[in-house]
Chain A
Amino acid sequence: MTDTILDKEQKLVQLLEQTFKKLSGKVVRQRRVTVSVEKELVPSVLSYAKSQLGYIHLSHISCVDWPENNNFEIIYILWSPADKVQLFIKTLINRENPEIDNVDMIWKHANTYEREIREMYGIQFNGLVGAQEFILEDWDDMPPMRRDFDTVDYVDNNYTFRPGREDAGDVREEIIKRSGEDIPDFAKKYSRD
């Protein structure tokens, strides 16, 4: 029974794996297929999916930071209005010298997503045209969406706080202290200790 349900998804993976040798695909569930490729193959896989398979819409380009494996993962999310299948094309790039080809000749609006990723993760898109500054202004620190960027540390160095935040304790204890009431039984199981 499941075979017939996932028919078009499995056919898509087969087709992609036949066309590109260094590609591994996986059917996640109905209407969702992920494909991992090497970064050199990305533009050709994207243009093949757009022109031959009917994945004419690029929904988003997403980026995940994996400092554990020293990798960035770029995910291109495509949508086919005919098949109604979402195709995730994933690629891993090295974290030390992150660069990848830009794809805004395939979809114009990829430019916006790429500029955002360039600013927030510091990934260089080869051949990307557009102003360096996109959302952040006068930023001279590490790209802020990287996971090893310590926001609390940055805030401590750049901003000051009014006194009063540091003694923020359990609100319930303070209420008991002030009103002399006891915590009702039903509330005790949600208590912090």
Chain B
Amino acid sequence: MINDKNSKKIVDIIQDFSRRHSLFVLAYGTGCGAIEIPPTMTSRYDAERFGIRGMATPRQADLLLITGYLASKTLKRVIRAYEQMQDPKYVIGFGSCTINGGMYWDSYNTIKILSDYIPVDVYINGCMPRPEAVITGFIELQNLIKEGKANGAQKYKENLEWYRENQRKVIKDWKMPDYNW
């Protein structure tokens, strides 16, 4: 039991417990979905009872919320913010724009599938999702962390070439710093 690599150690269980009950969200909103975050965080829906709260900088945050459409110009900033975040890190795609373009499907400057560019752990659909749906998404992410399935950051490291190739299709003039994690 002790030497079995597939079984969870007690340390992992404690780690996952603390991780999923202290999800610090990077205070960064793209698109119109950011308007659903204030009611989620404040007294009516009170997301802080799940340990979810805002955090000022990417290096302190665990969770990146992509709230709505992502312009190709914003994608550059999102990738930089995501790469600065410390492990463990998770991404939630929020609204139908991140899933398949949404109502901006024929726009020349918004990306269509978010998970082509950064790994997404949970998608919340809706245009826009109400705070109840947002909290359901958070709980879904907590369950994934509990089962050890929220491994987007690892996926990003292993398939970095594939992600970079997709990112370079949108960001043609590549002047991005390389972070060595």
Contact = CB atoms under 8 A, between A and B. Distances in A.
Interface stretch (B59-67, B104-112, B157-165): B104-112
Interface residues of A, number: 18
A145 to B, nearest CB: 10
Interface in A112-142: 136-138, 140-141
B108 A144 contact: yes
Nearest to A164: B100
Chain B residues touching A, range: 20 to 34
Interface of B: 72-73, 76, 99-101, 105-109, 111-113, 116, 169-173
B100 A137 contact: no
A155 B172 contact: no
B108 A151 contact: yes
Contacts of A165: 100-101, 105
A140 B106 contact: no
B144 to A, nearest CB: 21
A137 B101 CA distance: 20
A104 B115 CA distance: 44
Given A160-B116, A162-B99, A137 B105 contact: no
A144 B71 CA distance: 15
B106 A161 contact: no
A42 to B, nearest CB: 30
Most central of B106, B113, B169, B173 by chain A CB within 10 Å: B106
B109 A162 contact: no
B105 A155 contact: yes
Interface of A: 136-138, 140-141, 144, 149, 151-152, 154-155, 158-162, 164-165
Contact of B169 (A137, A152, A158): A158
A137 B108 contact: no
Contacts of B170: 158
A137 B111 CA distance: 14
Contact of A137 (B76, B99, B112, B113): B76
Contacts of B106: 151-152, 155
- Top 9 closest A-B pairs, CB basis? A138-B172, A138-B173, A159-B112, A162-B100, A137-B73, A154-B108, A151-B108, A152-B106, A151-B106
